[in-house]
């Protein structure tokens, strides 16, 4: 698997965990296979499966078996796990990153968006 591209400071940390990325990927497409989730995020299939199991056990995902495939439902009204963010539901995260196509709800416009077209950039 490819790792995330290195940044200028050569430190590989990111703001979102792989658990958040899996939740967002499934919110975008509830019918994704574990293989597709892993590939989209850049983790192994085993890691993706373990994360999906964590999210199911914590109540963030519900799995429904349809034939040979799984379909997931994101329970977006669940709070964040850390006490500092526990007063917010994961819907805010999903709305921010999953976009309008996310099943739990539509994304909010970017911060500062007014609905007016963006000004042209000068060179």
Report the C-alpha gap between 47 and 102 in whole angstroms: 23
pLDDT band at 1 (very low <50, low <70, confident <90, very high): low
* DSSP run (H or E) holding 62: strand 61-66
Mean pLDDT value of segment 66-74 = 96
Residue 81 above 50 pLDDT? yes
Residue 115 above 60 pLDDT? no
- Per-residue confidence (pLDDT) for residue 5, from 0 to 100: 64
Measure CA 118 to chain center. 27
Does the predicted model carry a pTM greater than 0.85?
Answer: no
| 88 and 82 Cβ atoms separated by less than 8 Å | no
Domains of the chain, CATH where assigned: 18-98 (1.10.10.10)
| 75 and 62 Cβ atoms separated by less than 8 Å | yes
């Amino acid at each position: 698997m490819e790792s995330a591209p290195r940044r200028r400071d050569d430190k590989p940390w990111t703001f979102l965990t792989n658990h958040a990325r899996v939740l967002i990927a499934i919110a975008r497409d509830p019918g994704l296979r574990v293989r597709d989730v892993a590939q989209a995020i850049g983790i192994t299939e085993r890691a993706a499966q373990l994360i999906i199991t964590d999210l199911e056990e914590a109540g963030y995902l519900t799995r429904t078996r349809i034939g040979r495939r799984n379909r997931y439902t994101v329970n977006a009204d669940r709070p964040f796990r850390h006490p500092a963010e526990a007063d917010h539901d994961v819907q805010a995260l999903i709305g921010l990153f999953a976009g309008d196509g996310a099943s739990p709800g539509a994304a909010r416009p970017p911060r500062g968006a007014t609905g007016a077209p963006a000004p042209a950039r000068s060179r």
